[in-house]
Chain A
Amino acid sequence: MGKIIGIDLGTTNSVVAVMSGGEPIVIPTAEGERLCPSVVAINKNGERIVGRTARNQAVVNPENTIFFDQALHGTEI
């Protein structure tokens, strides 16, 4: 049977949880954190980076970093 996951796309942070044994279990990020900053970026090598790593480089790479994107959901860019 397929698993059920829930995604909360927050303004500053996002969380993903999976239903396991009738309880939602938060899936930690690769860095081991439960919260994932809602930031996406493309670095100068054209690689996509998300979460904390993307937030860490936001100052250096503001043109290609997207944050506080919740207000943009459902709109055309």
Chain B
Amino acid sequence: MTEKDKHEEPIQEEKKTRPAEAREAIKEEKEPQEGYTAEAEKQEEMVTIPLKSMEEQLKEIDELKDQVATYSDGWKRERADFDNYRKRVLRDQEQEKQNLTIEIVKKYLVLYDDLGLALKNAPTEPGTKQWVEGIALILKKMQKILEDEGIEPINVDKVDFDPQFHEAISHEEDPDYKSGQIIEVVKPGYRINNRIIRPALVRVAK
């Protein structure tokens, strides 16, 4: 009988005996081994297992492998989803910031336009010049604030009607203009980083 076979027997017996005895058997077996060299440990690794439990264990290994595959696949998917989510959140934050700017600026643009209109129809009576200049300065200040926020007026000078930037409110015959040209800007439009805050309201020639 080899060393290996000797080890085989007690373990097979353990299975048959009651748990309490089995524990004792293990204890007995382990105790003398304590303090042994690496060689003894090597022998312990070579223990054989009954065929039935071996099959069960192999089956269990297969099941566990399947589970690992399922879980790691799920984990990878979640990881990718999370990465996308993080990127989206960052992008959304940027977008939301711009949306807020647009939302607020839109309200003040109405005032800005009105102020511009008021200046166009400035009183010409003597003594009002200084006051008009004051209004012009306020308008300039406001323009500066808008520029700092990255807001710029939509160009309507000598350009053809472009639905991306202009909104047509009328389409009329005009001998001075070619078809598709802008006759007049009723309300100026504004943009921020290529996003349209408000299209310019224009009259278009037929």
Contact = CB atoms under 8 A, between A and B. Distances in A.
Q: Do A and B come from one complex?
A: yes
Interface of A: 20-21, 25, 28, 31-32, 43, 49, 52-60
Q: How large is the interface on B (under 10, 10 to 19, 20 to 34, 35 or more residues)?
A: 20 to 34
Given A56-B168, A60-B168, A28 B95 contact: yes
A25 B95 CA distance: 14
A44 B3 CA distance: 95
Interface in B131-173: 161, 163-164, 166-171
B170 A59 contact: yes
Contacts, number: 41
B85 interface: yes
A54 B167 CA distance: 10
A17 B151 CA distance: 29
Given A32-B98, A54-B163, A59 B168 contact: yes
B174 to A, nearest CB: 13
Contacts of B164: 53, 56
Nearest to A31: B196
Given A31-B195, A60-B204, A49 B163 contact: yes
B95 A60 contact: no
A57 B85 contact: no
Nearest to B161: A60
B196 A58 contact: no
Nearest to B180: A60
A12 to B, nearest CB: 15
Given A28-B95, A32-B98, 12 more contacts: A20-B88, A25-B88, A32-B195, A49-B163, A56-B168, A57-B161, A57-B163, A59-B168, A59-B169, A59-B204, A60-B163, A60-B168
A56 B169 CA distance: 8
